Amino acid sequence: MQNVLYNRMENRLRLFCGSANAVSERFHLILANLPAAVHVEMFDHYRRLTLRGEGLVVVSGFYDVQAADIEKELVRKGFTVLERVEMNAWAAALTSECSCSWVGLGLKNSLKE
C-alpha cells in the first residue's frame, strides 16, 4: 500500500487481501509474477477474471525450460501469446528444472463472450 500512496495511484488501484475465488469483477489487465506451478493453478482464474476478447495478462516468474509447457496450456485455456520476453540471470546450480533465463509472457484472453 505504501508504494501505491508514494506513486499517487490510490485512485487508480484497488487492493485487497484474499483469494482469486473472492474476485468476481473482470479486468483489462492482470499482472502475475509467480512460480510456474502457481501459474498453472491460476490459469482458469486468469481466464475468468479478464475481459474476454480484450483482457491482457502478463505472467512471469518462471524459467525458460518451463515456458513451452506453460505456453501450451495457456493456449489450450483460450489465451493468445502476444509476446515472450527472456531475461538472463545468474544461478549457482543449474538443473533440468532450472536455467539462467527467466521468461515473461504477454497474453490476450481470446475467448469471446
Model pLDDT, residue 21: 92
Closest CA to 38 of 22, 60, 18: 60
Query: 10 Å Cβ neighbour count for 75?
Result: 13
Question: What's the pTM?
Answer: 0.77
**Sheet of strand 101-109: strand arrangement:** 29-33, 56-63, 101-109, 79-88
Single-letter amino acid code for the residue at 47: R
- What would the pLDDT profile of 5-55 be if each residue is shown by its tens digit? 999 988 888 777 888 998 989 999 999 999 999 999 999 999 999 988 888
CB atoms within 10 A of CB 6: 9
Domains of the chain: 28-109 (3.40.50.150)
